[in-house]
Structure 1
Amino acid sequence: MKKRFTVLGILLAAFSFTQMNAQILSDKAMGALSKGVSGFTFSDADAAALAKESIAEMDANNPVAGPEDGYSIRLNRVFGKHISSEGVTLNYKVYLVKDINAFACADGSVRVFAGLMDIMDDNELLAVIGHEIGHVVNHDSRDAVKAAYKKEALLDAASSQSGKIETMTKSQLGQIGSAMIDSKHSRKQESEADSFSYDFMKRNGYDVNAVEAAFRILQNLSEGAEASFMTKMMSSHPDSGKRADDAKKKATKDGLYKAYVQQKIDNTAPVKAKTPAKTTAKKTTAKKK
């Protein structure tokens, strides 16, 4: 991948689009946004339309696991039953890269990285995906798009009355894309997504202690060989250790706490049994005497 995605919780909601389904506000309207002009709205539908085309572009430019790949088979087994259970219609794929991440977009696209699936078992993986879905359900994606527009400031037209809808240049899209990749959710948003993840696990009958376990894994990474890199990348997030402690407190309060034991991690595709070769019985005919 051209850009290293390693922070859990990066929510990419807008890179490219079609003129019909995801038109972008003109510079005048963006100028209005930057100046805080009332009346300008960026709806969840706007963010979803942008994300739909964005994720298609990302899929085209990243190694996506095919349906017969072990990673895809495992993710479908683990998460397939939840594609429409949280108020949004979800679609999911695996990027065959070693980065440790997962993200969800405003249109319900969930992308999980192979590196994450290599170090987390099924329950821990569900906890992380639940966290990402929490960002979508909590409207963080819409806020992230607004923040990107403000940051890149494709703006400052003299007036903003027209609200004209126009497509954007590739250069402008590049600026928005970079801003979205670099955008970070607030600590409050991350904490709320953590709570959503815990509730998602509890509501669906999974082991809620896997939420703590997932954050312990991140905590251990931040203290190990990748410490300097992880510290830099996780700087906008609440401390992983504290997040693990918070999950433990919730489980204890609910009377569900017990030390979590990681289960076997298997991302290999099952070996298909060879079909035995067909044998054709020879017909025999009785000789007439």
Structure 2
Amino acid sequence: MSLLLTSASNASAQLKLNKKAIGAVDKGVKAATFSDADAAKLAGEAIAYMDTHNEVAAADDPYMVRLTKLFSKHQNEGGLKLNFKVYKVKDINAFACADGSVRVFSSLMDIMTDEELLGIIGHEIGHVANKDTRDAIRDAYKTAALTDAAASQSGAVNSLSESQLGGFCTALLGTKFSRKQESEADDYSYNFMKQHGYNVTALASAFNKFAEMEKEAGDNRSKSEKMLSSHPESADRAAKVLEKAKKDGLAKL
């Protein structure tokens, strides 16, 4: 799961999860035995849990109507089978999971133009395409110490119980991608925008909006925002996008 940006300092987090820690013991899941199918299975369970515990916009809700209009033609992007929903929460965020689920928060949609939103979700799709979300699922499964089955000789990944899912989602949300992974996801988004004829500089303007929010928040950023400090600075990301756009002759006002 990739979290792009949490809410501004004065906005209380609304995404609902079971915060009870289950424990941090490595149960022996090895990267070599953790497949894409395993990651998709666990991601699907986590998404189902979060869809149940948060307000999801209905098909005729203006937020969902807008998102459907933007992304209905991208449901098989890059060979990935994607599904999109909107969480009506105060957090300013979006994330994607290894099963192809993309969740966009309504407060993010409130502050972004259509093409800026396309760029942000393109970044999230990049984390799925680059296998970052698969590795995040594996690490969260290990960190949360969810089931003894993980330590079995077969290395089988079992379905999670209702009580385990809360801890798993908490561990998953705590996963941090490296700066390299974030930069590669930015590159994926840029190429996604370019391939489909969107304005690539909209990705830069989205990052600049985040930069302004970071500047306003200053030292008052929430714990969850500081947790995501592995992201490259938003202003630097915007500058990199604009530099590429100029080289490609795609820079626009």
Q: TM-score when scaled to structure 1? A: 0.72
Tell me the residue number matched to 2:123: 131
Q: Is the 8 A contact 1:7 1:100 kept in 2?
A: no
2:24 is aligned with 1:32: no
Tell me the residue number matched to 1:53: 45
Tell me the residue number matched to 1:8: 4
| Percent of aligned positions that are identical | 54
2:182 is aligned with 1:190: yes
Task: Kindly report the root-mean-square deviation, in angstroms, between the aligned alpha carbons of the 2 structures.
Answer: 2.7
2:248 is aligned with 1:248: no
Query: Partner amino acid for 1:73?
Result: V
Tell me the residue number matched to 1:237: 231
**Aligned to 2:99, which of 107, 116, 132?**
107
Tell me the residue number matched to 1:71: 63
Greater radius of gyration (CA): 1
**Aligned to 1:176, which of 168, 172, 176?**
168
**Aligned to 1:149, which of 116, 137, 141?**
141
Q: TM-score when scaled to structure 2? A: 0.82
Q: Is the 8 A contact 1:7 1:233 kept in 2?
A: no
Number of equivalenced pairs: 231
Query: Partner amino acid for 1:235?
Result: S
Q: Is the 8 A contact 2:95 2:102 kept in 1?
A: yes
Partner Cα separation in structure 2 for residue 205 and residue 224 of structure 1: 33
Answer with 189-198 or 76-85: which moved more: 76-85
2:195 is aligned with 1:203: yes
Tell me the residue number matched to 2:14: none
Cα distance change, pair 59–155 in 1 and its aligned pair in 2 (3 A)? closer
Q: Please give the per-residue CA displacement for 1:75-99, whole angstroms capped at 9, x wherever unaligned.
A: 1111111111221111111111121
Cα distance change, pair 127–227 in 1 and its aligned pair in 2 (3 A)? farther
Tell me the residue number matched to 1:122: 114
Q: Is the 8 A contact 2:92 2:106 kept in 1?
A: yes
SS of structure 1 residue aligned to 2:34: coil
Partner Cα separation in structure 2 for residue 43 and residue 164 of structure 1: 10
Deviating runs (4+, > 6 A) in structure 1? none
Partner Cα separation in structure 2 for residue 154 and residue 162 of structure 1: 16
Which ranges in structure 2 are unaligned for 5 or more consecutive residues? 7-25
Which ranges in structure 1 are unaligned for 5 or more consecutive residues? 11-29, 260-289
